[in-house]
Amino acid sequence: MFVLIIGGGKVGLNTARQLLQLDHEVAVIEQRKSRYDLLVEELEEALVFGDGTEIWVLEKAGIARADMVVAVTGDDEDNVIIAQIAKMKFSVPKVVARVNNPFNQPTFDLLGIDATVCATTSMLRLIMHELPVHKYVPLFSLRRENLEVVELEVSESSPFANTYVQDIQLPENVLLAAILRAGHALPARGSSEILPGDYVLCVLPPAKGKELIKVFLPDESPEELEKESELDTSEG
């Protein structure tokens, strides 16, 4: 595969290294001269100097034959524009864009950039996962599939404590994927028993969150739990 990466910061450089190691071909566009000088020794002719939102710079770097474009500059507007140029003008099969400020996620979604990665959101979610007080933690979303992976705590009073997976009635389109117990992940087979203190991983469309909370954590208010698990990503 030929992957064109725009932005030679930490994310861009490490993506390039990883892909090179896997024997893919890469090109990296970097517009800061000092950063370019730093990277050129390692990346050699795979590094292109210029503003990656300029169509001719993208062309020079080979966007026309790219199998994938990765827009990971530090500027969200630029990442949106690069992704749009890649799709609209060059019909690049796969386009991934970085969201620097989670606050801008709705703009990426609005403009049809469906494959996005946001380090801040991912980190916040993993931190929430470490906090013991949360009974319902969305771990990550698969935006293209419109699915979400959530973790739920099985308390003593849960209707599913000491129950077999096959006896559980889950809302439609909700998959109970795994049971986490004492540092191990167990497959959720019909014959698996869920014990108090377990955590379960479910895969579901985000809209099903409330229904899942209702059956799994009937003592909790779905509105409050969802609100708690929503990340405060306002600027500041």
Partner 1 sequence: MHVVIVGCGRVGSSLALSLVTEGWSVAVVDDRAESFYLLGEDFGGQFVEGKALDWDVLRSAGIEHADAVVTATDGDNTNIVVAQVAMKKFGVKCVVARVYDPLRATLFAQTGIRTVCPTRDARVLLLDAVRSCEVSAEA
Closest approach, Cβ 127 to partner 1, in A, equals 24
Q: What are phi and psi of 25, to 5 degrees?
A: -95, 135
Closest approach, Cβ 108 to partner 1, in A, equals 10
Measured from the CB atom, the residue of 89 and 214 that comes closer to partner 1 is 89
CA separation for the pair 112, 72 (Å, rounded): 17
Helices and strands (DSSP H and E) totals, the chain = 8, 13
CA separation for the pair 109, 83 (Å, rounded): 12
Measured from the CB atom, the residue of 70 and 113 that comes closer to partner 1 is 113
Closest approach, Cβ 33 to partner 1, in A, equals 20
Closest approach, Cβ 84 to partner 1, in A, equals 8
Secondary structure letter of residue 161 according to DSSP: T
| Residues of the shown chain interacting with partner 1 in the complex, contacts defined by CB under 8 A | 53-56, 75-78, 80-81, 84-85, 88-89, 103-104, 106-107, 110-111, 235
Q: Coil, strand, or helix at residue 213? A: helix
Secondary structure letter of residue 230 according to DSSP: S
Distances (CA, A) of 139 to 6, 132, 145, 153, 204: 28, 14, 15, 13, 12
Measured from the CB atom, the residue of 53 and 158 that comes closer to partner 1 is 53
User: What is the residue whose two structure tokens read 């450089």?
Assistant: 13
Q: Which residues lie across from 176 on neighbouring strands?
A: 202
Measured from the CB atom, the residue of 98 and 208 that comes closer to partner 1 is 98
CA separation for the pair 114, 96 (Å, rounded): 8
Closest approach, Cβ 77 to partner 1, in A, equals 4
Closest approach, Cβ 79 to partner 1, in A, equals 9
User: What is the residue whose two structure tokens read 């990346």?
Assistant: 43
Closest approach, Cβ 80 to partner 1, in A, equals 5
Do 11 and 75 form a contact (C-beta atoms < 8 A)? no
Measured from the CB atom, the residue of 74 and 222 that comes closer to partner 1 is 74
Measured from the CB atom, the residue of 55 and 127 that comes closer to partner 1 is 55
Phi/psi zone of residue 118: left (φ > 0), alpha (ψ -120 to 50 degrees), beta?
A: beta
Measured from the CB atom, the residue of 78 and 151 that comes closer to partner 1 is 78
